[in-house]
Amino acid sequence: MTGAPGSFTSTADTARSRSDTGPDCQLRIRLYVDEIELKIDTHENEGIDTFKTQIYEKTKEYTAGSAHNAGHTDLPVEPERMRLFANGRELKDSDTLLWAGVTQQHLVQVMVRFRDGAKK
């Protein structure tokens, strides 16, 4: 009987793995720390949680650079302090860039929480 409960078995590989990252892409992000804009090399099917780690690694590099605001006290930005937004909505850690509709034409906005709840 078709349509009976439990009669459908998916043959698709739905587990997120490094072997199915999708095409390479470069995304622009803008941190709300002095309006810093960075470019992140990633993949279209990358998980948001992994993307946050990539942003963290890039902000560590930025602090060592020679830019006018390198060494900013809010840098580097740890993943737990980030909230990512694109296409008018927040990107959740369980999403992938592809599922969220984020492409190379988008600018991902990164809201940064203060360290230790401090206020400026």
pTM above 0.85, yes or no: no
- Please check whether residue 57 lies inside any domain of the structure: yes
- Please check whether residue 6 lies inside any domain of the structure: no
Are 73 and 117 in contact by the 8 Å Cβ rule? The answer is: no
User: Which whole-number Å values give the CA distances from 40 to 3, 47, 57, 119, in the listed order?
Assistant: 44, 14, 10, 29
Which domain range does residue 26 map to? 22-114
Please tell me the total count of domains within the chain: 1
**pLDDT given for residue 91 in this prediction:** 93
Backbone φ and ψ for 110, nearest 5 degrees, come out as -115, 110
Please, which residues have CB within 8 angstroms of residue 96's CB and are 6 or more apart in sequence?
16, 45, 46, 47, 48
- Please check whether residue 82 lies inside any domain of the structure: yes
pLDDT tens, N- to C-terminus, the chain (120 residues): 344 444 434 333 334 444 566 778 888 888 776 778 888 888 888 899 999 999 999 888 876 555 666 667 778 889 999 999 998 899 999 889 988 889 888 889 999 887 776 554
Tokens 């990358």 belong to which residue? 46
State the CATH number of the domain containing residue 54: 3.10.20.90
